[in-house]
Amino acid sequence: MSNILEINNLSLKIGVQDILHDVTVKVPQKGIVSVLGANGVGKTSLMRCVSGIYHATGGEILLDGQDISKLKSHDIVERGVMQAPEGRQIFSTMTVLENLLLGAGALGRQELDHVLTLFPVLKERLKQQAGSMSGGEQQMLCIGRALMHKPKVLLLDEPSLGLAPRLVGFICELVTRIRDEGYSVLLVEQNVKAALRISDKAYVIEHGKIVIEGDAHELMSDKRVADAYLGGHVHEGS
Ligand SMILES: Nc1ncnc2c1ncn2[C@@H]1O[C@H](COP(=O)(O)OP(=O)(O)O)[C@@H](O)[C@H]1O
Ligand SMILES: [Mg+2]
């Protein structure tokens, strides 16, 4: 099995604070891998290291076998890593269409049709101000904007945050569909239950360290995961 992305023994210090310590996470081609953990444990920092916003103090990040950990973020984007960042970060006073086409260059118009097939809701709202849409719709826009670049790896930072349960389910279904189209996804989430359901593999992070890893299916029935993250309920099967 080939990994499109390998984060090996990554460490990040900011000032005197150890944010990430010896983190190893591997994302196979056409898979969904999630890094799960509570607020403040280093999930966003990990995403920022992959996308070159933070530079790790140790370890390596291999994209297709090449170390990208020292590159600038625009080079990393060019090599095919796109992030749907925490908090969505869409341009709220611009239209949906403007958000989608932003920075998409020549590929833009071609990819637009494809993204709009995945997100029919956005198609109906191309001229609407992005900020006037609901949270779920803004999340779709955020993911759609990343997909406009046909990324080799799609990074999703807490897409379910702040959404009603029904919409969480909807976004999860969407992420599965994106994977089924052949995309490779690294997802970080606090919503352990929702993320495990759609992931192939998962890692649990606490205080900047990976403490549990395994097949998502296995982790659903792992007692440590259940006690700490699923209110003690072990999920038999799925
Ligand atoms: N730029 C920064 N400067 C100082 N501390 C930071 C910075 N970025 C993240 N941190 C710290 O790193 C820790 C992990 O944060 P973060 O990666 O945002 O966690 P999560 O996404 O899991 O909530 C927190 O203690 C946070 O305060
Ligand atoms: Mg975060």
Indicate if the pLDDT at residue 220 is higher than 60: yes
Average pLDDT of 61-81? 96
> What pLDDT score was predicted for residue 235?
64
**Centroid of ligand 2 to alpha carbon of 188 (angstroms):** 8
C-alpha distances (whole Å) from 132 to each of 62, 98, 169, 214 are 38, 14, 22, 40
Q: How confident is the model at residue 1 (pLDDT cuts 50, 70, 90)?
A: low
Q: Give the residue from 38, 24, 27, 79 showing the smallest Cα distance to 183.
A: 27
Q: What is the mean pLDDT of the chain?
A: 93
> What pLDDT score was predicted for residue 238?
44
- Ligand 1 residue neighbourhood (C-beta within 6 Å): 14, 17, 19, 37, 39-45
% of residues, the chain, pLDDT over 70: 96
Dist. CA 19–CA 51, nearest whole Å: 16
Pairing status of strand 3-14 against strand 17-28: antiparallel
8 Å CB contact between 134 and 164: no
> What pLDDT score was predicted for residue 233?
72
Q: Choose which residue among 12, 16, 44, 57 to substitute to test ligand 1 binding: the one with the highest number of ligand atoms within 8 A of its C-beta.
A: 44
Average pLDDT of 14-27? 96
Q: Where is pLDDT greater, at 102 or 212?
A: 212
Question: Which ligand has the shortest distance to the CA of 12?
Answer: 1
Average pLDDT of 87-102? 93
Q: Choose which residue among 12, 34, 45 to substitute to test ligand 1 binding: the one with the highest number of ligand atoms within 8 A of its C-beta.
A: 45
113: burial class by Cβ within 10 Å (0-12, 13-18, 19+)? exposed
Average pLDDT of 54-76? 97
% of residues, the chain, pLDDT over 90: 87
Average pLDDT of 100-128? 87
Dist. CA 187–CA 202, nearest whole Å: 9
8 Å CB contact between 166 and 102: no
> What pLDDT score was predicted for residue 236?
58
8 Å CB contact between 126 and 97: yes
8 Å CB contact between 157 and 83: yes
181's tokens: 């189209």
CATH fold for domain 1-80+192-232: Rossmann fold (3.40.50)
Indicate if the pLDDT at residue 34 is higher than 90: yes
